[in-house]
Structure 1
Amino acid sequence: MLDAGRTQGLLKARGRQRTDSTHVLAAVREPNRLELLGETLRAALNALAAMAPAWLRSVALPVWYERYSRRIEDFRLPKTPAERAALADEIGDDGFRLLAALDGPESPPGVATMPAVEVLRTVWRCHFEKTPDPADPSGNGRARLRPVSGRGGEDRLESPYDTDARYCSKSGMEWTGYMVHLSETCDDDAPRLIVHADTTAANVHEAMRTEPIHVALAAKGIAPALHLVDSAYVSAAHLVTAREVFAIDLVGPPRKNLSWQQRQGGGFRAADFRIDWEASRAICPRDKQSQSWRDYRDRSGSPYVKVRFNPADCRACEARAQCTRATGVKWGRNLRLRPRDEHEALAVARARKETDSEQPLYALRQGVEGTLSQAVRSFGLRRARYKGIAKAHLQHVAVAAALNLDRIAAWLRGRPLAPTRRSRFAALAA
């Protein structure tokens, strides 16, 4: 579809594009914790029964055939929390027993690294720990559920039948599955075509996809000159990389300044200090110069500058309450600055957001939400039809191609864009 758009002169590089994302529900049932544990072990047993039936028959306990012969949700699970915890511990012991046999010398070649077995290892590592048991002569201990401490962790699996799907909580909404990022053109003299579909696990933040999207657009030869996004895609590093590496003007509201000076109003923010990068010094709003300037790196290896002011100057300053809450004779105002290019890029972006002439650009970005709505309502974008991120991405590419086909046909026929729909009740306000 993109090649056809180029041939017809409907798609050009170095124009305007916009990007946004929406959530996608995985094509699997979301089990509770007990069901997840039982189904994970059952899936591993089924895979082993096909791969090494004779070996599995020799290690399986008689109770396993009763406990894991059917889907866990088909059984009547215990009602009390204590009984559920006891059943979970029994399932944990069964899983550890199977893993120990798989790692033993009599295990058939290749079965210990089967995908279903790797899933079993991952789930058991996340949900169980072993505790000493005096009644166990082998000294291996008993399985015990780990305390529930959120749903984080990169390897936290939500279903043994879709190991790519992940849990996410965003803006009061929770789901298990994926995220899809759609990028479309938004030039006035051409149809609005989707130029890239990017599919990730649900727990991958939008900020992690800004640069990969630019790389993909550049590889297709259709990188924009102006890229409109929301605040989730914008950081100081993104602004610099987009400009210097891809020659893209990344436009979006930068993340809010959460310092107490900003929230209080009237406080001296870091932006109120004059920075002399050549002389490696900062000057406060009361014209006092910094005492020290040092380069550091944070835990991720990103560089930053730490600027300290003379505590004596800060103690004597009449505006101290507007600047710092530090106490003690050795404490004055400190600044933490990004590298110069990032610091200046962020300052420009924040100033740009307040400029009246730039507001139409921010309004233009919101138009991509109509594309997401059309993809969801007309093509079922929000529900994965298949399991696994590869097939989910193929579905998203197909949806994007279908949207483009419809939009090219509308453009050639002269069909105008539909206006924003309003409910009858909302129309009464006008």
Structure 2
Amino acid sequence: MWLREIEPVELLRQVVVQTYHVTTDTRGREVIRKREADSDGLPPGQLRLASPYDPDARWSAKGDELFWCGYKVHLTETCDPHTDADTPDTTTAGTSASTDTSATASPARPNLITDVVTTVSTASDVTATAGIQQRLTERQLKPGEHYLDSGYPSAELVADAARDGITMVTPLLADRSRQARAAEGFDKSAFDVDWKARQVGCPEGRTSTGWYPVRQHGHDAIVIEFARSDCRPCPSRDKCTTAIKGRRMLTLRPQELHEHVAAARTAQKTDTWQAKYALRAGVEGTINQALDVTGMRRARYRGLPKVSLQHAFSATAINIIRLDAYWTSQQPHRPRTRMSRLSRLAYRLAA
């Protein structure tokens, strides 16, 4: 009995230690106050306990307005408009707390949720992508095209998926260099890379003098260096660099990743790509359907395993609703239960 009781007590102790700070005032008395991040230090979000009742729940934020304590669910559904396709396309969306997914319904068959995974709320969306694609492949549901929100891809994931026959249709993060953010000057796309010669040419016709393979943040990279004697007298120096050393340096990905990223960023600027990517918006309706019909946003249980099961049941319920609507629509002479205008509107928006 004692071994069963000590775990909640230890959990409560950790919550108290992480939340409050004990100091001694000038009179030698102990003072207990809430911890301040700037002065007292706080554990990182993925380790900071949010509740003594649920050891897996975490506080998280999305943007400047959405804050919640709990989990994050990622939903994947089919979005293939063709009835005879062998490899249905899928879209993935992640939302805070619990989510519902609505799909762009095809008149021939309903779009169904094919994967649901629940993570702690502090886990970034990109950490879920590889697992989603692996599970879809194991279930013989590997998508030819995978439509995802901008939080799910990375250059490495895009390249790995392409090798496995999956085209990830998703916005890659933009170039974060000063020149790219300001939309003026020479960003990375303005430089010509000669991978065989291991040299880079700048817009003014100068050639790099240094090519250094390195490891940065656990990933392979290549640091490119131009000569100070070329950069300092350059008439376009202000458009290129403000470095104190007076020379431009670039950091590139390995060739395969660099070319994938460059091609993706170029494609993302076209109207054709934007029109194609609009298909992903259908999953937002699915999310709304799950929220309205199953109440997925509120966790009914404590602990990640039980909340994961709740989300799986919610996704199953949505699939049953869609299949029932589809099968009913195939039998026009079958009596139908009366549906309110509000319900019909909700299903129409979710379709």
TM-score of the superposition, structure 2-length normalised? Answer: 0.79
**2:152 aligned residue (229, 233, 250):** 233
Distance across 1 between alignment mates of 2:347 and 2:45:
43
SS of residue paired to 1:232: coil
Give deviations 1:227-276, integer Å, cap 9, x for gaps: 001111121111112122x3211111111223221132231001111111
Contact kept in structure 1, 2:45 and 2:60, CA below 8 Å: no
Q: Percent identical across equivalent pairs?
A: 37
AA at the equivalent of 1:365: R
**What 5-or-longer segments of structure 2 have no aligned partner?**
83-108, 331-343
Listed as ranges, the matches of 1:219-258 within 5 Å are 219-244=138-163, 246-258=164-176
For 1:167, the equivalent position in structure 2 comes to 59
For 2:341, the equivalent position in structure 1 comes to none
The runs of at least 4 consecutive aligned structure 1 residues that moved more than 4 Å come to 128-136, 141-146, 415-419
Contact kept in structure 1, 2:25 and 2:31, CA below 8 Å: no
TM-score of the superposition, structure 1-length normalised? Answer: 0.66
SS of residue paired to 1:227: strand
Distance across 2 between alignment mates of 1:146 and 1:307:
48
Give deviations 1:272-320, integer Å, cap 9, x for gaps: 111111221111111111110101112x421111111111111111111
Contact kept in structure 1, 2:18 and 2:35, CA below 8 Å: no
Listed as ranges, the matches of 1:210-225 within 5 Å are 210-225=129-144
For 1:123, the equivalent position in structure 2 comes to 15
Contact kept in structure 1, 2:15 and 2:51, CA below 8 Å: no
Greater per-residue helix proportion: 1
Listed as ranges, the matches of 1:360-371 within 5 Å are 360-371=275-286
For 1:94, the equivalent position in structure 2 comes to none
Contact kept in structure 2, 1:228 and 1:361, CA below 8 Å: no
RMSD value, Cα: 2.6
Contact kept in structure 1, 2:214 and 2:220, CA below 8 Å: yes
Give deviations 1:388-421, integer Å, cap 9, x for gaps: 1111111111111111112122223338995449
Distance across 2 between alignment mates of 1:307 and 1:228:
34
- TM-aligned CA deviation for residue 215 of structure 1: 1.7
SS of residue paired to 2:278: helix
**What 5-or-longer segments of structure 1 have no aligned partner?**
1-50, 53-109, 422-430
For 1:195, the equivalent position in structure 2 comes to 114
Give deviations 1:12-57, integer Å, cap 9, x for gaps: xxxxxxxxxxxxxxxxxxxxxxxxxxxxxxxxxxxxxxx34xxxxx
**1:147 aligned residue (7, 30, 35):** 35
Distance across 2 between alignment mates of 1:352 and 1:267:
21
SS of residue paired to 1:367: helix
Distance across 2 between alignment mates of 1:123 and 1:285:
56
For 1:315, the equivalent position in structure 2 comes to 232
Contact kept in structure 2, 1:235 and 1:346, CA below 8 Å: no
Distance across 2 between alignment mates of 1:356 and 1:173:
31
Cα pair distance change 1:129/1:352, threshold 3 Å? same
